[in-house]
Copies of this chain bind each other. A is one copy, B any other.
Amino acid sequence: MKSIVTIGGGTGQFTLLTGLKKYPVRLTAIVSMADDGGSTGVLRDELGVLPPGDIRQCLVALSESETVMRDLFNYRYDQGGLKGHNFGNIFLSTLEKMTGSVEEAVRVAGMVLAVRGEVIPVTTSDTRLVCGKENVCRGEHVIDVSVLKEKDSLRLEPEVYANPKAASAIEQADCVVIGPGDLYTSIIPNLLVKGVPEAIARSSATVVFNCNLMNKAGHTDGFTVRDYVDEIEKRIGRGRVNFVTYNNRMPERELLEKYGEEGKSLVAVAAEDEDFGETAFRPLPADLISARVTVPKSGDQLKRTFIRHDPDALAALIIDNCLGGV
**Which residues of chain A have a CB within 8 Å of any CB of chain B?**
42-43, 45-47, 68-69, 71-72, 75, 77, 79-82, 85, 87, 90-91, 94-95, 97-99, 104, 108, 112
A163 to chain B, nearest CB (A): 20
> CB-CB < 8 A to A85: which residues of B?
81
A-B contact pairs, 8 of them (CB 8 A): A42-B81, A46-B80, A46-B82, A47-B77, A68-B99, A69-B108, A72-B94, A87-B90
A225 to chain B, nearest CB (A): 40
A265 to chain B, nearest CB (A): 37
Tell whether, in the assembled complex, residue A46 and residue B79 are in contact, meaning their CB atoms are under 8 Å apart: yes
A267 to chain B, nearest CB (A): 37
Tell whether, in the assembled complex, residue A68 and residue B112 are in contact, meaning their CB atoms are under 8 Å apart: no
Tell whether, in the assembled complex, residue B82 and residue A98 are in contact, meaning their CB atoms are under 8 Å apart: no
Tell whether, in the assembled complex, residue B112 and residue A80 are in contact, meaning their CB atoms are under 8 Å apart: no
| Shortest Cβ distance from A69 into B: residue | B108
Q: How far is the CA of A77 from the CA of B183 in the complex (A)?
A: 36
Q: How far is the CA of A90 from the CA of B79 in the complex (A)?
A: 13
Q: How far is the CA of A278 from the CA of B91 in the complex (A)?
A: 55
A48 to chain B, nearest CB (A): 9
Q: How far is the CA of A6 from the CA of B20 in the complex (A)?
A: 48
A28 to chain B, nearest CB (A): 23
A89 to chain B, nearest CB (A): 11
Tell whether, in the assembled complex, residue B46 and residue A72 are in contact, meaning their CB atoms are under 8 Å apart: no
